Amino acid sequence: MKSKKYSYDYDQYEENGKNAGTMVEDILADPEFPELTELVVGEWGGAWEGSCQKMIDGITEHAERFSHIESLFIGDMSWEECEVSWIMQGNYSRLWGAMPQLKELTIKGSTDLVLGEICHEGLESLTIICGGLPKSVIREIQNAKLPNLKKLLLYIGVEYYGFDGNADTVRELLEQGDFPQLSYLGITDSDIQDELTQVVLDSKYIGQIQTLDLSNGILTDQGGALLLERLPAYPNIKKLDAHYNYLSAQMAEKLKTLPMEVDVSENEKPVKSGGEIYMSAMLTE
């Protein structure tokens, strides 16, 4: 897979007027572009005050010239460029029909994000990275027609940054979502990670997936005990990713004895202040 990232720096945005409206034109003018199979777009110029909608529209309007792109990542920017909660996303409703060859889609940022009616025969991987995933977007994924989806990775996030659901929201997603080929399930970056661990373990997908990703959230010994008890019954699971966690050293060591690859690295410690104990999911700013 040949990949290239396109982005604007602050000077290009401020002094040269580069923004989401010029990005597609610049991508298409690049002589290397026809050789790519992966397109990564970073800062499109003032991403904190202007959405990427014109860029999405440009891709759909020139769909035939993007027909070689199999992997698309929109919003690949560091916090120095733009805080994730500030990234102004857009409406992807028209993208599904415009890019039937697309196999992987990654979106960073959830402000003003709309996925629309998702129907795509070929998509194999959907990842959304954010500090808080709105219930409206979760329901769009829940209703999606993605018969060949193999990887679903969602950063659930926290209420302050846009997550307006609860454990039942994710339970409904996993009960009603229809992803028969799913082999990688990631429900991550949550401050209710223990509750979501229970939800995932009770879901219909636990008997078919090969990778269970519960990373980047407030996973404590409560959730760890559930994993320790339940996972041995599922030999289909080859990897447990629980990096960035609040597990005790003892629980982490016990989880490493599970008959699968286990990542419990990046063990965080609760912060005590003023008689209170504070823990936070990884991507909450």
Which value, in Å, is the radius of gyration of the alpha carbons in the chain?
Answer: 20
CA distance 231 to 208: 12
Asked, for residue 195, whether it belongs to a domain, the answer is yes
- Asked whether the predicted pLDDT for residue 71 surpasses 80, the reply is yes
Residue 33's pLDDT band (boundaries 50, 70, 90)?
very high
Q: What is the pTM of this model?
A: 0.96
Asked, for residue 272, whether it belongs to a domain, the answer is yes
pLDDT at 198: 98
Q: Give the model confidence (pLDDT) of 104-116 as tens digits.
A: 999 999 999 999 9
Asked, for residue 285, whether it belongs to a domain, the answer is no
The structural domain count of the chain equals: 1
- Asked whether the predicted pLDDT for residue 284 surpasses 90, the reply is no
Asked, for residue 283, whether it belongs to a domain, the answer is no
Asked, for residue 162, whether it belongs to a domain, the answer is yes
| 77-95 mean pLDDT | 95
pLDDT at 275: 86
CA distance 213 to 229: 17
- Asked whether the predicted pLDDT for residue 64 surpasses 80, the reply is yes
Structural domain containing residue 113: 3-278
Asked, for residue 240, whether it belongs to a domain, the answer is yes
| 90-116 mean pLDDT | 98
Percentage of the chain exceeding pLDDT 90 = 95
Look up the CATH number of the domain holding residue 223. Answer: 3.80.10.10
Mean confidence (pLDDT) of the chain: 96
Q: Give the model confidence (pLDDT) of 128-171 as tens digits.
A: 999 999 999 999 999 999 999 999 999 999 999 999 999 999 99
pLDDT at 155: 98
Pairing status of strand 125-129 against strand 104-108: parallel
Pairing status of strand 261-263 against strand 211-213: unpaired
- Asked whether the predicted pLDDT for residue 177 surpasses 90, the reply is yes
Asked, for residue 170, whether it belongs to a domain, the answer is yes
Residue 1's pLDDT band (boundaries 50, 70, 90)?
confident
Q: Is the dihedral of CA 231, 236, 237, 239 positive or negative?
A: positive
Helix (H) or strand (E) holding 153: strand 151-157
| 213-220 mean pLDDT | 98
Distance of CA 80 to the CA centre of its chain: 20
Q: Give the model confidence (pLDDT) of 255-271 as tens digits.
A: 999 999 999 999 999 99
- Asked whether the predicted pLDDT for residue 285 surpasses 80, the reply is no
Asked, for residue 130, whether it belongs to a domain, the answer is yes
